[in-house]
Amino acid sequence: MPLLIKNGHIITASEDYVADIFCENETITRIGQNLDAPKDATLIDAKGKYVFPGFIDPHVHIHLPAMGTFAKDTHETGSKAALVGGTTTIIEMAGQSRAEQPMKDGFQLWLSKAEGHSACDFTFHQTVSRMDKECEGQLTEIVNAGIPSFKVYLAYKGAFGITDEELYHTMRLAKKLGVIVTGHCENADLVLESQRKLLAEGKTGPEWHYWSRPPLVQAEGVHHFTTFAEMHDTHCYVVHTNCEESLREALAAAARGVHVWVEILIEHLVLDKSFAELPNFEGAKYLMSPPLPEKKNQEVFWNALRQRFVSTVATDHAPFDFKGQKEMGRGDFTKIPNGIPALEDRVNLLYTHGVCEGRLDLNTFVDCASTQAAKLFGLFPRKGTIAVGSDADLVVYDPDYRSKISQQTQLMNVDYNAFEGWEIKGRPSVVTIRGEVAVKDGKFVGKLGRGKLIKREPTHF
């Protein structure tokens, strides 16, 4: 059915104007003043509201095995939460461990979890958890199937972490295939030895997680990662960069010519390490890796976002219940499943604490929450902008809406919300996915299974 959005204040990464948008056959076909539409068109009056391109979360975990359990969201619950929060496309980490099935089988497993179940569009970063000749051939097949981005872990030794030899050959293959490599940058051995030392000293609570992988460890990982990328002139992307020390390493690499981009998480912009220090094990709700930073880092990253030194704001969404899952780590913080659920709240928190606080202008808000992810990961201009020919993924955003975040009303399938009781200023009032209304007045009204795999072409040669 055709769709006409009237009188909207359209914001892209570089534009700001008032116009109508007409969509049919899943795409934007006309943008202009006083557009007409056929009688069967869905009509949305966006007067007094912003119209943003559908937002993209470039770092999400939905199907995620960890420590003998699984993250709580499915693609049904996760995609509904994403859409209500204004996110129309997610990029999930397809991540089998070293010991599991062949790479291509792992990819097919992750794909099967999403296809026919997701209400929003999706694609993947393929985790490289080991590298040999067999893996190289399978990774090439996965890239040819439309997945031109890898994920490597310089952490989680024995599980997802790869050796330096494997990292070298991953970077070599990525350059050959035009693939961008995303990296979890720490140092597996430094983390492991620090964990052992702390536990031996009786420091077992979640408040000690930060000290097992302090900023120095992440900064060393960023330097290591960018050095290996530099060896092959491979394009690379540092995920969840959360401290000034790591940002400096990434910017230093960029200054010497490395093709490197930086991601920050919404959690790192608004939370700090004091939350992981809450008493009575409440801090476990806020445990993730790398850990929440010292508060002083927040303004560093807001400033870097404003200057567009940092490209994207993601979530690293990984929902584990406090009761029964996070509690597995009572008496040993290394056994607490990592992750803070935020897929539903990212856009509203970024708008509230970024735009409303004067830290970001509207164009930069769109750039870091949608456009840069689209450009970096081969989705642009199909996604990430409002233009004739682009997918009709649109967010009509009400800046006057006021409410508070609550676990009781969220769609994320997890028993807490890290931002419980926080005020939000603004929310999506209408969200469309390829021209079909999926959210109206904060309620999911879309179709499960309508989301599809967005195949991408390699662009990072």
Contacts of 59 (CB under 8 A, 6+ apart): 91, 93, 182, 239, 240, 263, 265, 314, 315, 316, 317
> Are residues 327 and 420 in contact, defined by beta-carbon separation less than 8 angstroms?
no
336-392: pLDDT as tens digits: 999 999 999 999 999 999 999 999 999 999 999 999 999 999 999 999 999 999 999
Q: Where are the alpha helices (DSSP H) in 150-295?
A: 164-177, 188-200, 209-212, 215-232, 244-255, 266-270
> Are residues 325 and 69 in contact, defined by beta-carbon separation less than 8 angstroms?
yes
SS3 272: coil
Q: Please tell me the distance from the alpha carbon of residue 272 to that of residue 29, in angstroms, as a whole number.
A: 44
54-376: in CATH 3.20.20.140: yes
The pLDDT value given to residue 238: 98
Tokens of 56: 């993209």
The pLDDT value given to residue 328: 97
Domain definitions of the chain by residue range: 54-376
- Outline where DSSP puts E strands in 357-422: 394-404
The pLDDT value given to residue 97: 79
The pLDDT value given to residue 420: 98
Tokens 């940058």, residue? 185
The pLDDT value given to residue 208: 98
Low-confidence residues of the chain, pLDDT below 70?
100
Please give the model's pTM, rounded to 2 decimal places. 0.98
271-324: pLDDT as tens digits: 999 999 999 999 999 999 999 999 999 999 999 999 999 999 999 999 999 999
